[in-house]
Amino acid sequence: NGILHVEDVSVVELVEKLGTPLYITSRSKLEANLKAYKDAFPEAGLLYAVKANNNISIMRIIARKGFGADVFSGGELYMAMLAGFKPETILFNGNSKSDDEIRMGVKTGVKFSVDSLDELYTISEIALEEGKDVEMAFRINPEIDPKTHPKIATGLKTSKFGIPWGRVLDAYRIALELPNIVPIGIHCHIGSQITELSPFVEALNRLFDVAVKLEEMGIEVKFLDLGGGLGIDYEGKGAPTPKDFANIILPVFEKRSKELRSKPELWLEPGRSIVGDTTILLTRVNAVKRSYKNFVAVDAGFNLLIRPAMYGAYHRVAVANKMDKPAEDVYTIVGPICESGDILAEDRKLPKVEKGDLIVIFDTGAYGFVMSSQYNGRPRCAEVLVDGSRWYVIRERESYYDLIGRQMIPDFLL
């Protein structure tokens, strides 16, 4: 009847009970995405990139499907453990780990992706103090253009991430000499939202080039971690699937593995391609204003979805309570934040939009709520998980109290 549903649940009924804005995730879509990766890479180590979406309920579904976790901070490690990821399947990534975070990782027993020699020395010192050996890989900078947005290209020569390509072997020689350090792998990550697969092949060949040299140094290479970054179809123009990815990557992996005495596993770190298209953001129209453009002012802005403002990212939109109506005009969807850049969708053909309508923003499961803020004094919204005809609140809506709950007033201001 023209009403958008997530699985068997009407979004109109949801907002009547829970209000807007509202993130809504489909369990069936999430599990289908997980199965697609398992089917495409049955023998690979699949580590979910927690940075994409760190909701504990969503991560528990992922962990229970046999995935490991790629974490980027002590906080992500803490949440990954709560979600049920096993320590031996967690890789602690990151270019600027604090000493406390390193100690947490050493005590937990996770593997480390090491980004610098300073970090390596610190891990060795802490591991020695704790009486534990640390299995690690260096994150290398392969100096590859992933052909994506510059702000999410992480394998360029100019990137802050990884050991420079020309210094990788020296770094492994140092690692071999340090106490309580056990080098067992090689790691790279070239970027995010990558839809052209050839850069992944180039990166994988770089990893094998290093692996051959490491074996000559006496290192048994147990894994080659290609990172994540597979893009999704935000614009309706198509994007490679995990199967497409496997068809390109696995033949190269199998061919070049023959060059090694070691039998390394292929590791991948999917994030966006696991959760991105599982979720919508629902937002209510507060006002429609005819000005330079037809502006539709809604109650969600870049405080809840920063991708359009930060990257110029495109998300499909629709009027969730008028899905059966034809497009009548062109509208620009804007949020309530006091910044001119608070634009969620520009120049979209939509049915007639009126105050009170519900705008749906698609494909918001990755880098959506996880990058949200309380800017302009706006409490963050609720999250809901839909399972068939049932739904569950998996994050409560914040209140005004949450804006000030951790603040302290000095005595002289009482």
Catalytic site positions:
338
Residue with tokens 């290209």: 153
Contact 170, 123 (CB under 8 A): no
Residue type present at position 220: E
> How buried is 139 (Cβ within 10 angstroms: 0-12 exposed, 13-18 middle, 19+ buried)?
buried
Residue type present at position 78: Y
Enumerate residues 6+ apart whose C-beta is below 8 A from 414: none
Measured between alpha carbons, how far is 303 from 296 in angstroms, rounded to an integer? Answer: 17
Per DSSP, the three-state class of 378 is coil
Residue type present at position 41: F
Per DSSP, the three-state class of 294 is strand
The DSSP annotation for 192-256 comes to SSB--SHHHHHHHHHHHHHHHHHHHTT----EEE----B---SSSS----HHHHHHHHHHHHHHH
Contact 331, 353 (CB under 8 A): yes
Enumerate residues 6+ apart whose C-beta is below 8 A from 145: 153, 155, 156, 199
Q: What token pair was written down for 306?
A: 């920063």
Measured between alpha carbons, how far is 28 from 7 in angstroms, rounded to an integer? Answer: 8
Measured between alpha carbons, how far is 266 from 135 in angstroms, rounded to an integer? Answer: 16
Going from the C-alpha of 123 to that of each of 135, 138, 177, 209, 406, the distances in angstroms are 10, 12, 13, 26, 32
Residue with tokens 């690690």: 136
